[in-house]
Amino acid sequence: MSSAIMNQIAVLFILIALGFLLRKRNLINNEFTKSASDLVIYVTLPSMIVASMDRDFSAALIKTGFSIFLCGSLMYVLLIVSAFTFSRLRKIEDGDRQVYEFMMIFGNVAYLGYPVLKIMFGEMGVFYGSFLNIWFNILVWTLGIKLMHKDQRKIDFFKAFLNPGLIAIGLGMIIFVFPVDIPQALKTTLNILGEMTVPLCMLLIGAFMTEARFKDFLSNKNLYLFSLTKLVVMPLVMMLIMMPFKITSTVKVIPVVMSGMPAGVNTAIFARKFGRNYHLASQGVVLSTAISLLTIPILLLVVM
C-alpha cells in the first residue's frame, strides 16, 4: 500500500480523534451531532454519490458495478448467516440478540466505508461502493427494522425504497446511463457538498465514541468476540469466498473491505428509536470502531 494511502488513512483517524476531543470538551454537543448526522444523511452523502456518478457512460463500468452488486449479495448472505450463528452459539438472550445480529450485518459502510473506498480508488471508489450499498439501503430498512422493532406490524417496507441512499443511487444511475447534462453550477454545488462528507463523518464518529465508557466493556466478553468476528473473521472469509472468481481485483477488494467495517452508528440510533438495548448498541459501535482503527489499515495492507 502506498504512503499516499497511508497518509490519507492517518488523516481520517486524526479527524476521528479531533471529533472525540471536541465532544469531550463540549465544543460540539448532542444537538450538533444530531443536526450534522441529518446533514450527512440527507444532503452531503447523497451529493457525493450523485457527483461520483456524473461521468461518461461506459459499458465496462456498468459491468464492473453489476459484478460488485452481485458480490455484495454474497457478502450480505455471509454476514446474515454469521450474525444468526454467532448469537445462537453465544446463547445471547432475546433483546440483546437482535442488537448483536444488527451490528454484525450492518457495518459502517457509509460513514466509514465510503471514505475508505474514496481513499483507495478516488471518486470511482464511491461510484463502485454505491452498487454494493444498494443491498445495505434495502436490507437496513427491511431486515434491520424487523430485528430492532418489537412490533412487527408497524414495519413499512415501502420505506426501503424511499431512503436518501437509494434515491441518490437511483438519480446517479439516471445521470450516468442517460447522458444528462448537469449545469456547471449544480455540478460544482454537488462536488462542494460531497467534499463535506468525509470530515463531517469522521468528526461524528469521534464524537459518538464519547458516549460509552471503556470500562463498561471489560465485563462483556461477547462484545470482544463480536468485534473480532466482524473486523477480522468476516473479511478473511469474504476474501476466501472471492478467490475462485475470475474477476478484477477491484471487484474482489471492495466487498472484502466493506465486510470488515465496524458496527454502524445507526445500530444505536435504531436501538434507541425502537426500544432495544441502547447501551449495548453504543458499546458495540464504540468498541468495534476503536479496534477498527487498527484492523482497517492492516486489512488494506493485505488486500492492496
Please count the other Cβ atoms lying within 10 Å of the Cβ belonging to residue 224.
Answer: 14
User: Which pLDDT value is given to residue 2?
Assistant: 58
Start-to-end CA span in the chain (Å):
6
CATH number for the domain that contains residue 283? 1.20.1530.20
Say which residue the cell 453465544 belongs to.
Answer: 90
Tell me the H-state helices in the chain.
Answer: 3-24, 30-39, 45-52, 59-89, 96-105, 114-121, 123-139, 143-148, 164-177, 184-195, 197-208, 221-228, 234-242, 249-259, 266-274, 278-303
How many residues are there in the chain? 304
Expressed as residue numbers, the domain containing 185 is 3-303
- pTM of the entire predicted model: 0.87
Instruction: Give just the sign of the alpha carbon dihedral 17, 133, 57, 191.
Output: negative
The tens-digit pLDDT sequence of the chain (304 residues) is: 557 777 888 888 899 899 999 999 999 998 888 888 889 989 999 999 999 888 888 889 999 999 999 999 999 999 999 999 999 999 999 889 999 999 999 999 988 899 899 888 988 999 999 999 999 988 988 899 889 886 655 566 676 678 888 899 999 999 988 878 889 999 999 999 999 998 998 898 888 888 777 677 777 899 999 999 999 999 999 999 999 988 898 999 999 999 999 998 888 888 877 888 888 988 898 899 889 989 999 999 888 7
Domain count for the chain, please give it: 1
